[in-house]
Homo-oligomer: A and B are copies of this chain.
Amino acid sequence: MRLATVATPAGSTAAVWQNDAWRALPAPDLSSLLASGADWGVGDALPDAVPVLPLPRPGKVICCGLNYGDHIAETGRETPTHPTLFAKYADTLIGPHDDIVLPAGLEVDWEAELAVVVGATLRNATAAEAEQAIAGYTVANDISVRDWQRRTLQWFQGKAWDATTPIGPVLVTPDDLDPTAGVEVVCRVNGVERQRGDTKTLVFDSAALLAYISTFTVLRPGDVVLTGTPGGVGMGMTPPTYLRDGDVVETEIASIGTLTNTVRFTH
């Protein structure tokens, strides 16, 4: 099943893809739909529906760093025994085709990621319980301001710039997608492939991350966890290469969809 928040000429709504059309679900967006927990009556087909930011206001957006075997090897580190976690706010999120708008002069980098969306309340969950609570998977790019990320020991200030994290275009439910079996996460900049990783090499898979996080904080329907990025970020290139004004970043998981976002620097 493919779910989305779609814009239509009559306004935005949660929607499900059935019989070659987006059909209305009874909520204004997927954040509301997942929080409602109600049975979802499927409405009529929606003409001219376009997926937009699927989850406009998750209470928590938690990110995992250093989670792909190849990226860890590339940085010369050992396989971690615990996930490296940091937080973002919902204000960071933008839709699948929105511009990434930032002041000029920053070192702006890409990080293509699989994101897992929580479907039920989780606290002190086992991995098996966490797996049952997954609402679905989507694509994200944890666009990072590297110079601010490196200013101090804590990455937060390089990761929490408002309106810089594209996510979407749709949410694919677990009955239709199993990232532990392997899906490829790809990033292209101006059409040139920069990252390609397989989620089957994740040190901590989606269920493991949700269970671990739920040890210290409650996860609720609509919360989002970004599962980390594979090797190939701009910071790791020789010389380090960052995004320029007008660059087009494509972030793709073939079985979910592609984010296409243009970088716009303000002066």
Contacts and interface: CB of A to CB of B under 8 A. Distances in A.
B87 A89 contact: yes
A89 B217 contact: yes
Contacts of A50: none
Interface in A58-102: 59-60, 62, 65, 80-89, 91-92
A216 B161 contact: yes
Contacts of A65: 152-154
A152 B82 contact: yes
A153 B80 CA distance: 11
Interface residues of A, number: 32
Contacts of A89: 59-60, 87, 217
A83 B152 contact: yes
How many copies of this kind of chain does the complex include?
2
A154 B85 contact: yes
A126 interface: no
A155 interface: yes
A201 interface: no
A129 interface: no
Contact of A217 (B60, B123, B152, B162): B162
Contacts of A218: 91, 162
Given A86-B156, A87-B156, A92-B217, 17 more contacts: A59-B89, A62-B156, A65-B152, A82-B157, A85-B154, A86-B87, A87-B87, A87-B88, A123-B162, A148-B216, A153-B153, A154-B154, A157-B216, A160-B217, A161-B216, A162-B216, A162-B217
Interface of A: 59-60, 62, 65, 80-89, 91-92, 123, 145, 148, 151-157, 160-162, 216-218
